[in-house]
Amino acid sequence: MIFDILTIFPGMFEGGPLGESIVGKARARGLVTVRVHNLRDYATDRHQMTDDRPFGGGEGMVMKPEPIVRALEAIAAQGPPAHVVLLTPQGALFDQAAARRYSLLERLVLVCGRYEGVDERVGQYFVDEEVSIGDFILTGGELAAMVVIDAVSRLLPGVLGNEASAEAESFREPVLEYPQYTRPQEFRGLKVPEVLLSGDHRRIARWRRKQALLRTRQRRPDLFARLQLTEQDLALLRE
Ligand code: ADE
């Protein structure tokens, strides 16, 4: 899969999270291609300005439409048809379903917004969607683009060692994962729950399910409300 990134800070993508670990290896193996484009190269004025003052007045600067749209047009021909996403806190929330949807694409273009915003006409007429990675404000869309690339890449065939693991994890069913433990059996006086050492696989499965449900109810009542609980689940919660 090809990711094209449009940014005024291409240096943020040198090395960094996309050069290491699973995504780094996927790139080395040619499963993932990341291309970074400097928006300043597409500026039209002699100072290579990519931002300007807002019409109507107010604080801060707004990213100009020309560099972004010129960059989108220039890269359009460089590869297969692309889905274009603008990263902005004003976007629709990115979630696992969106990651899954993007993982089926051949090519994704990620436009990184900066400053106090991007000229509204970009979002309205020149991109397919506006996306936010969460209800918090970053200094720009660059980290958000990395988050999207990471979440999508791990869903691509061959990227994770074990094909099963990508989707076996939570969020198919919107429930949090059960607690995991490894050696040592006792760490600074803290013991691993006895049931996990029992070798009784039915008991272990029931304990894990119960912990997952309790944890989801406690930490993510929004997800818990959407769960379709079985009679067995309800019995576990009554125990
Ligand atoms: N730019 C600034 N904050 C952002 C966020 N939460 N998601 C996507 N892009 C952003």
ipTM: 0.99
d(CA 202, CA 172): 22
Ligand 1 and 87: CB distance under 6 A: yes
**What token pair was written down for 40?**
């300043």
Report residue 170's pLDDT band, with 50, 70 and 90 as the boundaries: very low
Q: What is the value of pTM for the model shown?
A: 0.95
Weakest-pLDDT range from 23-32, 120-129, 164-173, 227-236: 164-173
High-pLDDT (> 70) share of the chain, %: 95
Three-state secondary-structure class, residue 51:
strand
50 to each of 3, 35, 43, 130, 229, how far by Cα in Å? Answer: 22, 20, 6, 19, 51
Please give the domain boundaries of the chain with CATH numbers for all domains: 2-153 (3.40.1280.10), 170-238 (1.10.1270.20)
Residue 2 annotated as binding?
Answer: no
**What token pair was written down for 106?**
């051949």
**Overall residue count recorded for the chain in this entry:** 239
DSSP letter string over 94-156?
Answer: P-HHHHHHHTT-SEEEEEE-BTT-B-HHHHHHT-SEEEESSSS--SBSHHHHHHHHHHHHTTS
Residue-wise pLDDT tens digits, 101-146: 999 999 999 999 987 899 999 999 999 999 999 999 999 999 999 9
Report residue 231's pLDDT band, with 50, 70 and 90 as the boundaries: very high
User: Dihedral angle at the C-alpha atoms of 188, 192, 194, 199, nearest 10 degrees?
Assistant: -130
Ligand 1 and 140: CB distance under 6 A: yes
Residue 135 annotated as binding?
Answer: yes
